[in-house]
Chains A and B, each alone.
Chain A
Amino acid sequence: SAVISQKPSRDICQRGTSLTIQCQVDSQVTMMFWYRQQPGQSLTLIATANQGSEATYESGFVIDKFPISRPNLTFSTLTVSNMSPEDSSIYLCSVQGAPEETQYFGPGTRLLVL
Chain B
Amino acid sequence: AQKITQTQPGMFVQEKEAVTLDCTYDTSDPSYGLFWYKQPSSGEMIFLIYQGSYDQQNATEGRYSLNFQKARKSANLVISASQLGDSAMYFCAMREHNAGKSTFGDGTTLTVKP
Q: Is the CB of A107 within 8 A of B43?
A: yes
What separation, in Å, do the CA atoms of A1 and B61 have in the docked complex?
A: 15
B50 on the A face (CB < 8 A): yes
CA distance A107 to B44 in the complex (A): 5
Q: Are B47 and A104 in contact (CB under 8 A)?
A: yes
Chain B minimum-CB-distance residue to A105? B45
Report, nearest first, the 3 A-B pairs whose CB atoms are least far apart. A105-B45, A108-B43, A43-B104
Question: Are B44's CB and A105's CB within 8 A?
Answer: yes
Q: A92-B45, A108-B43, A108-B44 are in contact. Are A102 and B50 (CB under 8 A)?
A: yes
- Selected contact of B35 from candidates A31, A41, A102, CB within 8 Å: A102
Contact B105 A42, beta carbon cutoff 8 Å = yes
**In the complex, per-residue mask of B48-65: 1 if CB is within 8 Å of any chain A CB, else 0:** 001010000000000000
